[in-house]
Amino acid sequence: MFHRSTGSTGRQRISAVVLALALMLTLALPAAAAPARPDPHLSDLGDLPDPTYPTRLTNNGPSHQLGQSSLLLGQCVDGEADGQPNGTATGDDGAVGDPVLGNQQCTDDEDGVTPNGHWQSGVGGGSVNVTVAGGPGCLSGWIDWNHNGNLTDAGDNILNNVLLNTGTSTQPFTVPANPVSGTFYARFRLYSPDQGGVCTSAKAPTGPAINGEVEDYVWQFVNAVTLSGMSASSAASPLALPLGLVTFLGVLVAGIVLARRPV
């Protein structure tokens, strides 16, 4: 007598063999590698006060991967596990991170941007000296002019996607009308150009970049006579003038201006 169940048993045996072979092949193949996560120590991060100015990674602070190119601001750059915020933007200033790229003898990696000493309101009224290594690169910069705790107001983006070659250059920008004396927070980011060597993909003051460097600064401005301009110094060595001297300077400058005015 012919039994149909015999064929069913054969098919089951074949299926079992196929499954066993598939399992053996799966075990023999190497396990798929987990998606690579960037080493936080191989990134440069900022040090402006956080969360007022997003600096830590949890607040989408700026980060620049290191080792992808030789592009950097100044002489050197070092890596950090996270942003290093503090009130004077000096948390990342010492070149003691891991790794240090560029000049290995460098003691301060926030050395790529310096303000020129006299600013005044208007187009081209202010300028900074910028040093680039490993260029060309694209530079964007921001200053919180109105002290409201962000870098996204109109006029804050003082430099936007400026193409810079290796070396030091002076970069002018617009200073708003009647800037107020006090502490100003600034951020500068350098990153590689787009395909074709042009700067078209603008960077925000936050978020990641595949290379380059971010440098944060706190600058003090003394405005003895509003219309005559502003003098800048770093937070580490602020320019302090006694109130009586400031008043005297204002009267003196005003007197000189009036004296030279034609009758």
pLDDT in tens, 41-91: 589 999 999 999 999 999 999 999 998 889 999 998 988 889 999 999 998
Whether 16 has a pLDDT exceeding 80, the answer reads: no
What's the confidence (pLDDT) of residue 20?
59
- 3-class SS at 231? strand
Whether 31 has a pLDDT exceeding 50, the answer reads: no
Quick check: is 218 in a domain? yes
Task: Report DSSP state, residue 237.
Answer: S
| Mean predicted confidence (pLDDT) in 195-209 | 93
- Residues 98 and 115: their CA atoms lie apart, in Å, by 28
Share of the chain above pLDDT 90, in %: 49
Q: If pLDDT is split at 50, 70 and 90, which confidence band does 101 have?
A: confident
- pLDDT, averaged across the chain: 77
Quick check: is 23 in a domain? no
Q: If we measure between CA atoms, which residue out of 84, 99, 94 comes closest to residue 39? A: 99
Quick check: is 33 in a domain? no
Contacts of 237 (CB under 8 A, 6+ apart): none
> H or E element: which one contains 139?
strand 137-143
Q: Determine the structural domain holding residue 227 and report its residue range.
A: 40-243
pTM (2 d.p.): 0.72
Number of domains the chain contains: 1
What's the confidence (pLDDT) of residue 244?
40
More confident residue, 223 or 260: 223
More confident residue, 28 or 183: 183
C-beta pairs of 23-32 under 8 Å, 24+ apart in sequence: none
**Top mean-pLDDT range of 81-85, 127-131, 152-156:** 127-131
Quick check: is 250 in a domain? no
- Compute and round to an integer the Cα radius of gyration of the chain: 29
Whether 19 has a pLDDT exceeding 80, the answer reads: no
More confident residue, 258 or 13: 13
Whether 250 has a pLDDT exceeding 90, the answer reads: no
Quick check: is 29 in a domain? no
As beta bridge partners, residue 54 has: none
Residue 262: other Cβ atoms inside 10 A: 3
Quick check: is 1 in a domain? no
Q: Compute the CA torsion angle 157, 192, 86, 115 (nearest 10 deg).
A: -60
Quick check: is 215 in a domain? yes
DSSP string, 156-179: TEEEEEEEE-SEEEEEEEEEPSSP
Q: If pLDDT is split at 50, 70 and 90, which confidence band does 114 have?
A: very high
Whether 227 has a pLDDT exceeding 90, the answer reads: no
- Residues 204 and 55: their CA atoms lie apart, in Å, by 12
Least confident of 142-156, 162-176, 249-263: 249-263
Quick check: is 224 in a domain? yes
